[in-house]
Amino acid sequence: MAQANIPENENERLSALYEYDLLDRNADTVFETIIRIAADVCDVDISVIALIDRDRQFFFARNGMEPQETPRAIAFCAHAILKPESTFEIPDATKDPRFADNPLVTGEIGVRFYAAQPLTTPDGYAIGGLCLIGKEPKSLTESQRDTLSGLGKVIMSLFESRKSASSSEKKLIDAKAITETAAHKLREQQATLSAQNEHFQAALENMNQGLVMFDENQQLIVCNERYASMYYVSHDLLRPGTTLAQIVEHRIAKGIYAGRDAPAYIQERFEWGGDPQVETKIHDLSDGRTVFISRRPLQGGGWVATHEDITEQKRADKALRESEKHFRNLIEGSIQGVFIARNWELLFANQALADIFGYADPGEILDLRDVDPLIAPEERQRIWDYNNARKKGRYAPEVYESRGLKKDGSEFWVEYRVRQVDWHGSSAMQCVVLDVDNRKQAEAELLQHRDHLQELVNSATSDLKAKALELEAALAKEKELNELQRQFVSMASHEFRTPLAIIDSTAQRLKKKAGNLSSEDTLKRVDKIRSAVNRMTRLMEDTLTAARVDEGKIAVEIKSCNVGQVISDACWRLQEIAKDHVISCDICALPETIRADAGALDQVITNLLSNAVKYAPGAPDIQVTAHSEGDYVLIQVQDHGLGIDEDDLPKLFERFFRAKTSAGIAGTGIGLKLVKTLVEMHDGSISIDSRKDVGSTFTVRLPVNGPPPGKKAA
């Protein structure tokens, strides 16, 4: 396989190729149409536009070819560009020693026939070729070579147009114009291309612009229906060969021309056609319409032009300019500051805004770039959050006050009135800014006067209110004392009567049967008397302690205390009285001492044990456990008796409260309130876990080191 030589002007040729910016780009539809036409005209299987890069062959447009590129070393087109002035043709590649063993011949593509029309720039650099590949040997006819040559020129014209176009819309117009030129020439050269011409014709008729093409003799090549309808050109004048002069005369007869009069328009049109250049014009027609005309010359003479009716666009632009002018006049003359921003970037500001914030002119405001420098630092996040909420469609206030920041760094009060507006085709935020600093100062002074007046009123009535509060407190205290007295009297009349009756009846029996009782019976009756006395003593102690708590006279004396001994003594004492119960005591895990009031703790344990015995008449087992837990000791008293209803638990430690399950059992409702008070005076806590008919567990939590030094003990 013979590789093609590198052209002597390779560096210049590559530079020319790169200027077109075609490599690794997608081809426009017009190029795909041209290579399909080339394949149909020349009756081949594959057609491509190949561009020869430094090390590869890139297929800009492909018809029947799968790969996007091949190595330059095997490219047929690399040979074709060595002779830019002539068509390169290989009738049978298998018989050509340069290509017989080429992978494109021996491989899946199976090239037999190959022809390429070099694509040559105006400066003479062959950048690639319009290439045809057939899978059967053949040769082109002279007519096919001419067609291939013409299509190569059309492609280069399109490349030139693509390179020089200044906008995407202009590129589209130029490409379509050149495509129509190519279609017209192909119709003249090859009658068999009528089917392909229909595609071009359809494209022309679907254009929004009128398109017309004249040859070098100023004779019509083709025009679309849009052009004819714009100028009311009759179908008789739409035939190819109609002169520009005939069309101009027809338009003048219809009263459709531009300029001051018909002769001037004729002169302008013939000067236009005499020296075709790349140019644009705007014609204000005599019927009130405005037309934008864009023209490009054709290779070999003639030109193609598009005519676009821009009347409505011109009116809209004029209306927009007038609206903007009115808006600017209104805003610039306003005494209210106004700015417009998008994504926090300042787009517009008026002089009033500059004056409010201490800037010389709106330009100095816009130099800030964004809104932040106009907002006090502590307010920026709040206003930024408002802006984000608006963009996301969520609520944000349209009118609000904030602290503004002047150029000199001073802060002042402003009011913002915000709404969304359309600004040059996109949504933006318009903000009207009012300087309300004086108003805020006046409001502050008014509030100060109001507060001063309120102080005078408060001062005048404070003594009266104080006396009223004292009277109310005294009355409430008296009512509370009366209620306590009533409750105490009621409790005393019931609770003290019962043990006294027991003592009296037991003493009378002892007296009557003093000589007949055994020692055992005597001890039983003595124990009964002791139990009744103990009950009365406990009632008296609880009642007196509760009274001292109400009067604020109770105190605890915090010092080193052998908590284990206190618990053991209380358990032993209750066990002596409660012969029907078994009190177990597990206190091995306690520290030797804690800081507490031993007497108060004894009262707490005794109350809890007494309740456990009293409310577990049919469950003899009572467990007392105590252990350390970090800086605390936990003491638990558990019974398996009546338990407490769940809805009674929150009120259990209230004074005089008795649970529903205690109905029929003697009690005052004082003990647990007293227990809770004594525990809290040690900076401790008490909790209960209880279920009806299952039993109750009271847990006392006390700090090992006692309450903190600053905590009051009473």
How far is CA 28 from each of CA 18, 149, 185, 571, rounded to the nearest angstrom? 18, 20, 20, 103
Residue 214: pLDDT over 50: yes
Which strands form 303-309's sheet, in the order they lie side by side?
A: 220-223, 210-214, 303-309, 290-297, 279-284
- What's the pLDDT at 43? 94
- Say which residue, 409 or 312, is predicted with more confidence: 409
- What's the pLDDT at 511? 67
- What's the pLDDT at 166? 36
The two tokens of residue 279 are 């140019």
Residue 611: pLDDT over 80: yes
The two tokens of residue 224 are 């679309």
Residue 331: pLDDT over 70: no
Q: Quick count: other Cβ atoms within 10 Å of Cβ 312?
A: 10
Residue 554: pLDDT over 50: yes
The two tokens of residue 92 are 């049978």
Using one digit for the tens of pLDDT, what is the confidence trace for 51-93?
Answer: 999 999 999 999 999 999 999 999 999 999 999 999 999 999 9
Residue 714: pLDDT over 70: no
- List of residues 6+ apart from 487 with CB closer than 8 A: 656
With contact defined as beta carbons under 8 Å apart, do 385 and 402 qualify?
no
- List of residues 6+ apart from 196 with CB closer than 8 A: 33, 36, 37, 40, 183, 186
Residue 200: pLDDT over 70: no
Rounded Cα distance between 42 and 192, Å, is 11
- Tell me how long the chain is: 714
- Residue 192 CB burial class (10 angstroms; 0-12, 13-18, ≥19): exposed
- What's the pLDDT at 501? 57
The two tokens of residue 641 are 């008796």
Left (φ > 0), alpha (ψ -120 to 50) or beta: where does 670 sit? alpha
The two tokens of residue 324 are 């903007």
Rounded Cα distance between 404 and 284, Å, is 52
CA geometry: angle at 562 spanning 559 and 564, to 5°? 145
Three-state secondary structure call for residue 504 = helix
What does 611-654 look like in DSSP terms, one character per residue? HHHHT-TT--EEEEEEEEETTEEEEEEEE-SS---GGGGGGTTS
Using one digit for the tens of pLDDT, what is the confidence trace for 125-146?
Answer: 999 999 999 999 999 999 999 9
- What's the pLDDT at 184? 73
How far is CA 504 from each of CA 498, 501, 531, 533, rounded to the nearest angstrom? 10, 5, 13, 11
Average pLDDT over residues 369-379: 94
- Least confident residue range of 109-113, 480-484, 576-580: 480-484
Rounded Cα distance between 398 and 417, Å, is 6
What does 93-141 look like in DSSP terms, one character per residue? GGG-TTTTT-HHHHSSS---EEEEEEEE-TTS-EEEEEEEEESS-----
Helix (H) or strand (E) holding 145: helix 142-164
Average pLDDT over residues 616-643: 94
- Torsion, Cα 226 152 133 66, to 10 degrees, reads -60
- What's the pLDDT at 662? 81
Residue 115 is classified by DSSP as: E
Average pLDDT over residues 591-599: 93
Q: Quickly state the pLDDT bin for 179 (edges 50, 70, 90).
A: low
With contact defined as beta carbons under 8 Å apart, do 357 and 377 qualify?
no
- What's the pLDDT at 477? 63
- What's the pLDDT at 55? 95
Q: Rounded to the nearest 5°, which phi and psi values hold at 340?
A: -125, 135
- What's the pLDDT at 450? 86
Rounded Cα distance between 673 and 662, Å, is 16
- What's the pLDDT at 254? 84
Closest CA to 567 of 585, 581, 594: 585
- Say which residue, 693 or 545, is predicted with more confidence: 693
The two tokens of residue 527 are 């124990």
Closest CA to 305 of 204, 405, 403: 204
- What's the pLDDT at 167? 43
Rounded Cα distance between 196 and 189, Å, is 13
The two tokens of residue 595 are 């800081």
Residue 196: pLDDT over 60: no
Residue 308 is classified by DSSP as: E
Closest CA to 53 of 75, 32, 29, 31: 75
- What's the pLDDT at 41? 93
Burial 220-233 (b: 16+ CB within 10 A, else e): bbbbbbbbbebbeb
Residue 275 Cα to chain centre, angstroms? 60
Rounded Cα distance between 137 and 335, Å, is 86
Helical packing angle, 598-614 and 671-681, nearest 10°? 150
DSSP collapsed to 3 states, 514-528 = CCCCCHHHHHHHHHH
Instruction: Return mean pLDDT, the chain.
Output: 85
- What's the pLDDT at 432? 94
- What's the pLDDT at 532? 65
How far is CA 405 from each of CA 48, 87, 410, 431, rounded to the nearest angstrom? 66, 75, 6, 16
Q: Give the residue carrying structure tokens 């149409």.
A: 33
DSSP collapsed to 3 states, 390-409 = HHCCCCCCCEEEEEEECCCC
Rounded Cα distance between 313 and 208, Å, is 14
Residue 572: pLDDT over 90: yes
Q: Quickly state the pLDDT bin for 315 (edges 50, 70, 90).
A: confident
Residue 271: pLDDT over 80: no
